[in-house]
Amino acid sequence: MPALGWAGSGGASMTPATAPASQSGTVLPGDVSVAATADGMTFATRASGMLRKQLRFSGMAPSSDAGETVEIERLGRETNWSWAPTVHATVAANGSFTAVWQANHIGRFSVRALIEQPATSVVASASPMLTVTVYRPSIATWYGPGMYGRTTACGEVLEPSTLGTANRTLKCGTPVAIYYRGRTIVVPVIDRGPYANHADWDLTRATSLALGTDGVSTVGAVSLPPQGPR
C-alpha cells in the first residue's frame, strides 16, 4: 500500500492529493491493489481491508515449488512487532497460489509470503513484502464552523484548514488512518469527543471535506501507534 501521509502532533493544513505520500494529511486512494516481487515470487493483495471481512492474497511462485505451502505472515502492533502466521496456501502446478484471510485484527501490517521451511531454516530476507491497513468500521461526524479560532482540548487552535479528529480516549497527537469510499487520509487526534450520534470520531470540517463525508457517516478507522512495546 502506498504510505499514507503522517501528520504531526498538531493539526496539519490540507494538502493536495498529488502531494508526496510523506506529507501530512495527504489523501490517497485506498481501493487499490499492491504487489511485490522477490526471490522469484510475486505476491499481491488489496491495500485496504475491513475488520471481519475477507482479504484475498494471491501470487505466483516458481513452478518447481508446486505442491509446497506458502506461509503468509504479518507484522505489526497487534503481533507485538513479530512475524505471525496469518494464512496458508498451496502452490498449484502452474505456480499460482491464493489464500483468504478473515481479518481479525485492525492495524497497519507488513505482510510477507514465503515457502514454508523447516523450523531450523532461515527465512530469506528477499521474501516479497507488502503493507496492508485493516480498518474498524466506525461512526464519524464532523465539526468546525462556529468553533474556529478556539483552542481544542489538545491545545490546537482550530482553523478552517485544520486536519484532525476528536476522540474520547486516544492520546493527543496519535495518528489515525481514516478510510471512506475508496479514499484514505492520516490525521492526528487534536480534540476530545464526540459525545453524540453514537459516533467514535468527530472529524474537523477540513478532514470531512478531504474525504467527502457528510453528516453522520460510516468510515473505516484505525490508530497508528509507533513501533514499540504495547
Domains along the chain with CATH numbers: 12-29+135-223 (2.40.40.10), 33-134 (2.60.40.10)
Among the listed ranges 21-35, 93-107, 139-153, which one has the minimum average pLDDT value? 21-35
pLDDT (0 to 100) of residue 44: 98
pLDDT (0 to 100) of residue 25: 86
Q: Kindly tell me if the per-residue pLDDT of 22 is higher than 50.
A: no
Q: Kindly tell me if the per-residue pLDDT of 176 is higher than 80.
A: yes
CB 62 within 8 A of CB 113: no
pLDDT (0 to 100) of residue 188: 97
For the chain, what percent of residues have pLDDT higher than 90?
Answer: 80
Confidence of residue 53 (pLDDT cuts 50, 70, 90): very high
Count CB-CB contacts under 10 A for residue 160: 14
Q: Kindly tell me if the per-residue pLDDT of 204 is higher than 80.
A: yes
pLDDT (0 to 100) of residue 226: 81
Q: Kindly tell me if the per-residue pLDDT of 80 is higher than 80.
A: yes
pLDDT (0 to 100) of residue 228: 58
Q: Kindly tell me if the per-residue pLDDT of 230 is higher than 50.
A: no
For the chain, what percent of residues have pLDDT higher than 70?
Answer: 84
Ramachandran bin of 40, using left for φ above 0, alpha for ψ from -120 to 50, beta for the remaining angles = left
pTM over 0.75: yes
Q: How far are the Cα atoms of 53, 129, 188 from residue 110, in angstroms, in the given order?
A: 18, 7, 22
Cell of residue 170, nine digits: 486516544
- How much is the CA Rg of the chain, to the nearest whole Å? 20
Q: What is the mean pLDDT of residues 206-215?
A: 96
Q: Kindly tell me if the per-residue pLDDT of 156 is higher than 80.
A: yes
CB 157 within 8 A of CB 218: no
Helix (H, G, I), strand (E, B) or coil at 220: strand
Cell of residue 230, nine digits: 504495547
